[in-house]
Amino acid sequence: MAFVITRHFGENIVVEHSDPVLFSRYLLPGTKETFDALNLPSDMYVLCVTYKQDQKGGGGDTQIFITGTIEPNETIKHAAKRELVEETHFAAERNSYMKKINKVKNTTWYSCEVKNLKFVENPNEINQRRLGDFFKSASNFCHNLFDRFRSTQKKRKNKIACIVYGTREEMETLMRSFKGFDSTKTHNNDDIVGLACLSVENAKKVIDVVLTTKSKELLLFSF
């Protein structure tokens, strides 16, 4: 039985396997309680992202859920939409498909069903166009205000997190729905090189292990 489904952005194959997976220990506030409250069936799957391995052999880990930082010139919901498309190359077809489900400390949580996503080949164009429209409409006075807001917002480091979920079949369809491309050409994707998904049951196991162990090392998890 395959426990993890993965696809590298630069390849045209989807890999299903039960081998140990290297997971990030990075969890935002409210991860466990938000995921539990969503009450998804254990055999549903959640979307994750996989990072590039560096020259020193570090990285190469998979992170559960989509996460990111809210920029000073955007709303919380736009931040969630932007991070989703930058990290996965998929966007919600409608704004209403991105549902706010929780707020814990500095983190706002959203959920989105995988069947409501569409592939976006070049996320840079979308973000540049939105930001360009915003700055064209702003006065010099507003620019000064945003500069001040930027400095305080960076200190706060307000975050978003998005839980993308669906059936195994829906996840496989998502994984197979795009042609291979060079993810290094995507601005601000944090060296994310591919997607992965695992069952809700196994995602909860990974989260529990991360929360109950104090090590800062990446977690090699065997299902």
Return d(Cα 49, Cα 202) in angstroms, integer: 15
- The amino acid sitting at 6 is T
pLDDT at position 45: 97
pLDDT cut 70: percent of the chain above it: 84
What's the pLDDT tens digit per position in 98-115? 999 999 999 999 999 999
Give the H or E element holding residue 52.
none
Look at residue 141 and tell me whether its pLDDT is greater than 50: no
Residue 127, pLDDT score: 58
Compute the average pLDDT of residues 14-29: 95
Give yes or no for a contact between 208 and 200, defined as CB atoms under 8 angstroms apart.
Answer: no
pLDDT of residue 216 exceeding 70: yes
- Mean predicted confidence (pLDDT) in 181-194: 82
Give the DSSP letter of residue 29: T
Residue 28 predicted with pLDDT over 70:
yes
